[in-house]
Amino acid sequence: MDAISVIRTKRDRGELTPEQIDWVIDAYTRGEVADEQMSALAMAILLNGMNRTEIARWTAAMIASGERMNFSALSRPTTDKHSTGGVGDKITLPLAPLVAACGAAVPQLSGRGLGHTGGTLDKLESIPGWRAHITNAEMLDVLDTTGAVICAAGDGLAPADKKLYALRDVTGTVEAIPLIASSIMSKKIAEGTGALVLDVKVGSGAFMKTIEDARELASTMVALGTDSGVRTVALLTDMSTPLGLTAGNALEVRESVEVLAGGGPKDVIDLTLALAREMLDAAGLKDADPEKALADGSAMDVWRRMISAQGGDPDATLPVAREQHVVTAPSSGVLTRLDAYGVGVAAWRLGAGRARKEDPVQAGAGVELHAKPGDTVTAGQPLLTLHTDTPEKFEYALGALPDAYDIAPSGTPFTATPVVRERIA
Q: If you ran DSSP here, which 8-state letter would residue 349 be given?
A: I
Separation CA 113–CA 357 (nearest Å)? 8
Angle at the Cα of 18 from the Cα atoms of 3 and 51, rounded to 5 degrees = 100
Q: Quick check: 168 and 51 in contact, CB under 8 A? A: no
Separation CA 53–CA 42 (nearest Å)? 17
For residue 183, indicate whether it is catalytic: yes
Considering the candidates 82, 116, 201, 387, report the single residue annotated as catalytic: 82
Burial of 266 (0-12, 13-18, 19+ CB in 10 A): exposed
Considering the candidates 83, 110, 183, 186, report the single residue annotated as catalytic: 183
CB atoms within 10 A of CB 323: 16
Considering the candidates 89, 122, 161, 238, report the single residue annotated as catalytic: 161
Q: Quick check: 367 and 140 in contact, CB under 8 A? A: no
- Bridge partner list, 334: 376, 408
* Torsion, Cα of 320, 352, 128, 264 (10° steps): 70
Q: Write out the DSSP string of 190-204.
A: HHT-SEEEEEEEEST
Give the H/E segment covering residue 140.
Answer: helix 136-146
Please give the positions annotated as active site.
Answer: 82, 161, 168, 183, 187
